[in-house]
Amino acid sequence: MASIKDVAAEAGVSVATVSRVLNGHPSVSPGARTRVLAAVDALGYRPNAVARSLRTDQTHTLGLVISDVLNPYFTELARSVEEEARAHGYSVIIGNADEQPELQDHHVRNLLDRRIDGLLVSPTDGGSPLMLDAAHTGTPMVFVDRWIPGVDVPVVRADGREAVRDLVTHLHGLGHRRLAIIAGPAATMTGSERVEAFREALREYGLPLPDAYVGQGDFQAASGRRATEAFLNLPEPPEVVFATDNLMALGALDAIRARGMSVPHDIALAAFDDIPWFVHTDPPITAIAQPTGELGRAAVRALVDRIEGRPPQSVTLTARLVVRRSCGEPQAAQPRTMPSRSMQPPPKQPPSTQRSIT
Amino acid sequence: MASIKDVAAEAGVSVATVSRVLNGHPSVSPGARTRVLAAVDALGYRPNAVARSLRTDQTHTLGLVISDVLNPYFTELARSVEEEARAHGYSVIIGNADEQPELQDHHVRNLLDRRIDGLLVSPTDGGSPLMLDAAHTGTPMVFVDRWIPGVDVPVVRADGREAVRDLVTHLHGLGHRRLAIIAGPAATMTGSERVEAFREALREYGLPLPDAYVGQGDFQAASGRRATEAFLNLPEPPEVVFATDNLMALGALDAIRARGMSVPHDIALAAFDDIPWFVHTDPPITAIAQPTGELGRAAVRALVDRIEGRPPQSVTLTARLVVRRSCGEPQAAQPRTMPSRSMQPPPKQPPSTQRSIT
DNA sequence: CCTCCTTGTGGAATCGATTACATGGAGGAT
DNA sequence: ATCCTCCATGTAATCGATTCCACAAGGAGG
């Protein structure tokens, strides 16, 4: 593979001049410029990004560590991250942690070794020493979706509190009183936060949330199945299961089907995270939708700001309830007329661009 | 960030010795070794992969260029590729071409500039000059799923001919006679191949495949919708739509629903590529399943073979039909009793390890 | 006509590793 | 005791870029 030296020789100039031409440095004569360009063309020369990175200490690469690529939510996130990064001139290396802290550490270490310019993380756990250390020693970093409290790292996320309240309102309006939730790992912020929001909303309606109605999941389908089976084995099973992510909802659906029961007739089902497939399941599933694409883009913008020396901002967008038929009573014509205060005025600004600064 | 020089100074040895310790070179005294290790620990030193790559001309990185990350089939492929690569000590950079040749070229160029050790491609088109050039100039490369004919690059793929024949047998057995297909882009090998297999199977049953029953798609949901609408507008619409990938099947389902028709009562639907969600759609969709995970793993093995100087082998695995309810007549108890010759003896070797050498 | 500044260019240092080669000392064979 | 070998180690070249500095030529200004 041709190097800058070959180009210099071919063009009859020094490597310095070649470099200047390639980097658009002004001080190059038109003659030299054309000869260099011709040589580049003739040799099919492409600059070696590895060498360039070593010298400039910039890789123009972002690392993205997510907890589960197979989860459509994260897939979409990854896609929007890559798009926005490309628009800013960065590439992205994705690390799939598969909800395993050790794997997450492996990827963080690997990305750090490769000297990526910045790191986007959706932490699987409360934060390993490695990651905390990276944050402290000044690696540009941004948390997306999930985060670790007490660390000075900007967070880009969607707030689901209101949407959860809307959901509870919706369920209550349909006459459901015994509501259960499948929680995510307590170690993740989103895990505990969603349960908290649910508990609070229930309190507003004077509904209890017995311990038996809080299933412990790990954001994977199998755990959703297990938790749901436990619910169904209860002397008084819940009327509604709310899964705090889409895969656990899928597991719940499996468990319900395996019992020969049907949704929403025998039991209602709702999920956090809306994905295209929920429209096509049997029945279509009521879910809380995050502005996933905008989340990814905002995260990249924050990270690039940080990398390029501008002050990065935390961003909080809002999630919204999407009512379908999995909780009963298909409200055919007027799909979203709920007696909830949060349903009152449509937000002035589109929710997807709403920014709050921390 | 500490460099090897700092470690050398801390340990009171030369950089050469540090490097030797780090690379497990035998000729290092135990004393020096412990001192170096202590220094590494004290400084939290991690070797700079960029510098190492420059010197050794190896990045221990594989590039994977796929046509669409949002397609669950490719997501699963990407996941298995990353896993197997990691097991071999390689990282993976994924490029999402989004079915656009220019974007595909962008990623290939980018990966080449980063001097990845090898390239795994599922080509979106017939092959740009850039990619052909890379193949010729000796970049280790392997095609996975899709491929470009006439290029000397190993191919790892699943053969769907038999499964397609099984599908036609299944459909014919259910009484369907007017079968339509939504094809992928003609530029992709898998696109034309699947249509060919379908056409051939139809011929065996003496069924015609009129041009009007061949919809032109691009492996995206929207095109599946369009093609299906066109079918339904025909004076004599087909009784079955076979989508050659899962996203187009989704689009087809949309189009059918939009007409107020139901599957399989009004029209049957089948898809190439099986994905977890097909179990949960309404109705569950009959599909041809590829051994996706094994495909990804085999592709990595072939590529690593090529990189490390062993002769790489093309691999062809077999796809198989998974009957569900989207074509009618839920055959409850005995799920797969089809009157097809291909259903006769179970393969001696598990299909997932079946290798054919090209 | 001389000086000074600008512009274009090349030489060489540098980034952080690996590794060929040189060197010095210890130990074994004769 | 001498010589040879082998082991541990250091010095320095190298990978392919970028960039500081020096320098020459040419133009402007006095």
Question: Using H for helix, E for strand and C for coil, what is the string for B167-230?
Answer: HHHHHHHCCCCCEEEEECCCCCHHHHHHHHHHHHHHHHCCCCCCHHHEEECCCCHHHHHHHHHH
Q: What is the pLDDT of residues B10-24, one digit of tens each?
A: 999 999 999 999 999
Mutate to test the interface with B, among A60, A280, A324, A326 (most CBs of B within 10 A): A280
- Alpha carbon distance A192, A150 (integer Å): 15
One CATH from 3.40.50.2300, 3.40.50.1860, 3.40.50.720, 3.40.50.620 for B160-290+319-353: 3.40.50.2300
Measured CA to CA in angstroms, residue A349 lies from A71, A160, A294, A357, B267 at distances of: 30, 18, 14, 16, 44
pLDDT higher than 60, residue A55? yes
Measured CA to CA in angstroms, residue A124 lies from A65, A68, A188, A286 at distances of: 9, 9, 6, 26
- Alpha carbon distance A37, A302 (integer Å): 36
Measured CA to CA in angstroms, residue B64 lies from B47, B69, B96, B119, B245 at distances of: 25, 11, 8, 6, 20
Q: Which residue type sits at B132?
A: L
Percentage with pLDDT > 90 across chain B = 83
CB distance B113–A277 less than 8 Å?
A: no
The answer to whether B139 and B111 are in contact (CB under 8 A) is: no
Percentage with pLDDT > 90 across chain A = 83
CATH 3.40.50.2300, applies to A56-158+293-316: yes
Structure tokens at A236: 């008084």
Task: Say whether the CB atom of B27 is under 7 angstroms from strand D.
Answer: yes
Say which CATH topology domain A4-47 has: 434 Repressor (Amino-terminal Domain) (1.10.260)
The model's confidence at residue B336, banded by pLDDT at 50, 70 and 90, is: very low
Give the pLDDT of residue A312: 94
Task: Say whether the CB atom of B4 is under 7 angstroms from strand C.
Answer: yes
Average pLDDT over residues B94-122: 96
Q: Any idea which architecture A161-289+319-352 has in CATH?
A: 3-Layer(aba) Sandwich (3.40)
The model's confidence at residue A330, banded by pLDDT at 50, 70 and 90, is: low
Tell me the chain A residues in contact with residue B72 when contact means C-beta distances shorter than 8 Å: 70, 72
The model's confidence at residue B339, banded by pLDDT at 50, 70 and 90, is: very low
Where on strand C do bases come within 7 A of a protein Cβ?
7-12, 14-20
How many Cβ atoms from other residues are within 10 Å of residue A333's Cβ? 6
Average pLDDT over residues A337-355: 38
Answer whether A56-158+293-316 and A161-289+319-352 agree in fold.
yes
Q: Which residue has the tokens 């700001």?
A: A305
Torsion of the alpha carbons at B100, B104, B107 and B113, rounded to the nearest 10: -140
CB distance A276–B250 less than 8 Å?
A: yes
CA of A47 to C1' of D17 (A): 8
- Alpha carbon distance B200, B180 (integer Å): 13
CB distance B46–A281 less than 8 Å?
A: no
Residue ranges of the domains in chain A?
4-47, 56-158+293-316, 161-289+319-352
The residues that bridge with B268 in the sheet, in sequence order, are B240
CB distance A113–B76 less than 8 Å?
A: no
CA of B40 to C1' of D5 (A): 33
Q: What is the pLDDT of residues A220-251, one digit of tens each?
A: 999 999 999 999 999 999 999 999 999 999 99
- Of A187-191, A208-212, B119-123, the poorest mean pLDDT is in A187-191
DSSP codes joined into one string, B295-348: HHHHHHHHHHHHHTTSPP--EEEE-EEE--STTS----SSTT----GGGSSPPS
Q: Which of A289, A284, A299 is nearest to A322 (CA)?
A: A289
pLDDT higher than 70, residue A357? no
- Alpha carbon distance A16, A55 (integer Å): 14
CA of A346 to C1' of C11 (A): 67
Q: What is the pLDDT of residues B209-251, one digit of tens each?
A: 999 999 999 999 999 999 999 999 999 999 999 999 999 999 9
Measured CA to CA in angstroms, residue B286 lies from B4, B226, B263, B279, B282 at distances of: 58, 21, 11, 9, 11
Which of the pair, A277 or A318, is modelled with greater confidence?
Answer: A318
One CATH from 3.40.50.1370, 3.30.420.40, 3.40.50.2300, 3.40.50.1110 for B57-158+293-317: 3.40.50.2300
Where on strand D do bases come within 7 A of a protein Cβ?
7-12, 14-20
Give the pLDDT of residue A239: 97
Measured CA to CA in angstroms, residue B318 lies from A324, B30, B292 at distances of: 39, 54, 10
